[in-house]
Structure 1
Amino acid sequence: MDGVPPSDGPVVLDYPLAGSFRARNSPARRVPSHGTHLMGTTYAIDFIPVDARGRSAPWRWRAALSTEPPEDFIGFGASVLSPSAGTVVIAHDGEHDHEARRSQPALLAYLAAQPRRIAAGPGAIAGNHVVVALGEGGPFVLVAHLRKGSVGVAVGEQVAAAQPIGECGNSGNSTQPHVHVQVTDSIDWPRSRGIPLAFATAQGFELPAESEIVRVPPRP
């Protein structure tokens, strides 16, 4: 998709993953979707790759009591695709992929460190990420939490919709491997405002409901 929206509609994108993935923090459920307008996240959405049973990873004792290696998750290393054609304006890599957290004790400890991550800036929040400008002045599509060392595009590069740009990881403000997508009017993150988004279908476009599993066949 070229992504450019009608004047009164959302920015329509392609899904950034193929296969099966679950929508989380969907703006179809609430706005702001992540509970804040900070850094343009008003209409952001997360996609967690899952298996045929809807699981992001097998449930083992560590899932209930401790942290888990990101490599144990279905999505870790999955190819991430550009949601739209455009020009790469940010390509940030080098943030580590940390342990995943599904247990309540691990999540509570992680949440306690949230103010520190926010103060550390975009890399600590978005992790390894790519931003594609749909036009000279935007809008701008952020794809975040990529695997360390996987970012495969450079600033100034022209990308096509569905072109691989990296791999799904667990970098930045992420509790398990997933892909975060948002659209903003600016990449001046403290001042950026979120823009509504949707995803292309054969019938037009859609916005997945909270916890809905989306299935996208691989491109030929």
Structure 2
Amino acid sequence: MRRAISRLKPLWLLPVLLGVTLGVLGVLGAVPDFVRSVPSMVLLVVIALGALLSGVHPKADEHEPHVMASPVRGRWAALNTPGQQLPSHGSRFLGQYAAVDILQPATAATPAKVRKAWRGSRPQEYPSFGAPVYAMAPGVVTRTWSRSRDHRARNTWQALLYMMTLEGALRTLGGQRAIIGNHVIVHHDDGTAAVYAHLRTGSVVVGVGQRVDAGDPLGEVGNTGNTSEPHLHVHLMDRPNPNAAAGLKMTWANIARPGEIEPSLAEIAKEPAENAVLSMPRNGEIFEA
């Protein structure tokens, strides 16, 4: 039942969009007369039902982490990771129960996480931007998108506020592309599927129906979709449709963990929760692939 409801997520989001639209029109005093003729209780019930159903997500049975190859090479740091807690991103939305975000360690030239400026930093200023992304397991590409633009970082106070309020809400209502930006989805031979998200504009080098092996290049790290700075978001699912998928735990076989913490992420480097996937890096932890 959960999966059937979740599969129709775009439909359930329509009443939520209606509620947001009516709220804005109400503030502007521009609600159409035909809408005013509908009993307010009916509108509230429809909006509330849509919000309730859009929050229903599939759950996978308890399982051991699936062993994958790392999607990157070199030195990286993890955040919003299942090595810290589950759900790693605070939600099961779009199958991202055990998703992980990774970025390359900061250099002296890397922009600050938050700075005083009118505009956010350009994505080209970050070391992760343009780094190659590789397939974690053999399978077939089922979906790609590479036309979203790389936007500036959300590293000013006003940009962060915008991202956490209006932008976040609009992207959620905008669907998968608005959230994950440029992406590749690979359906693996074992039945699992992986999402590689926030890729650089025009960088995707595979097409739908193409077969890939572990280690084959897919694209490059970018700053598209719901992102604050260039990084790779990757997660594993039990099927290739994120709207109908349950998130799965994974671990990377070809990484070393030297025990270092990325200084710019030190404030989120805490002891893992009891349900964490301990074979994955925790928040702020550097790993080498």
**Cα 1:202/1:94, change in 2 over 3 Å:** closer
Q: Is 1:36 equivalent to 2:87 in the alignment? A: no
TM-score (norm 1): 0.86
Code of the residue aligned with 1:94 in structure 2: it is R
**Is the 2:204–2:220 contact (alpha carbons within 8 Å) kept by the matching residues of 1?**
yes
Code of the residue aligned with 1:36 in structure 2: it is S
Task: Give 2:248's aligned residue.
Answer: 195
* Structure number with higher relative contact order (C-alpha < 8 Å, ≥ 6 residues apart): 1
Give 1:201 shift.
Answer: 3.2
**Is the 1:129–1:143 contact (alpha carbons within 8 Å) kept by the matching residues of 2?**
yes
> Hey, what's the Cα distance between the residues in 2 that align with 1:202 and 1:47?
13
Query: Secondary structure of 2:243's match?
Result: coil
**Is the 2:123–2:223 contact (alpha carbons within 8 Å) kept by the matching residues of 1?**
yes
Task: Give 2:183's aligned residue.
Answer: 129
Q: Quote the sequence identity (%).
A: 33
13-22 or 152-161, which moves further after superposition?
A: 13-22
Structure (1 or 2) with the larger CA radius of gyration: 2
Give 1:12 shift.
Answer: 1.3
Aligned length: 205
Stretches of structure 2 lacking an aligned partner (at least 5 in a row): 1-61, 257-277
Code of the residue aligned with 2:76 in structure 1: it is F
Give 1:76 shift.
Answer: 0.7
Structure with more helix by fraction:
2
**Cα 1:107/1:56, change in 2 over 3 Å:** farther
Give 1:206 shift.
Answer: 2.9
Name segments (4+ residues, structure 1) moved above 6 Å.
none
**Cα 1:64/1:20, change in 2 over 3 Å:** farther
Cα RMSD for the two superposed structures: 2.2
Q: Is 1:57 equivalent to 2:110 in the alignment? A: yes
Aligned match of 1:25 in 80, 85, 95? 80
Q: Is 1:86 equivalent to 2:139 in the alignment? A: yes
**Is the 2:111–2:121 contact (alpha carbons within 8 Å) kept by the matching residues of 1?**
no
Structure with more strand by fraction:
1
TM-score (norm 2): 0.66
**Cα 1:27/1:96, change in 2 over 3 Å:** same
Q: Is 1:212 equivalent to 2:264 in the alignment? A: no
Task: Give 1:4's aligned residue.
Answer: none
> Hey, what's the Cα distance between the residues in 1 that align with 2:109 and 2:181?
20
Task: Give 2:228's aligned residue.
Answer: 175
Stretches of structure 1 lacking an aligned partner (at least 5 in a row): 1-6
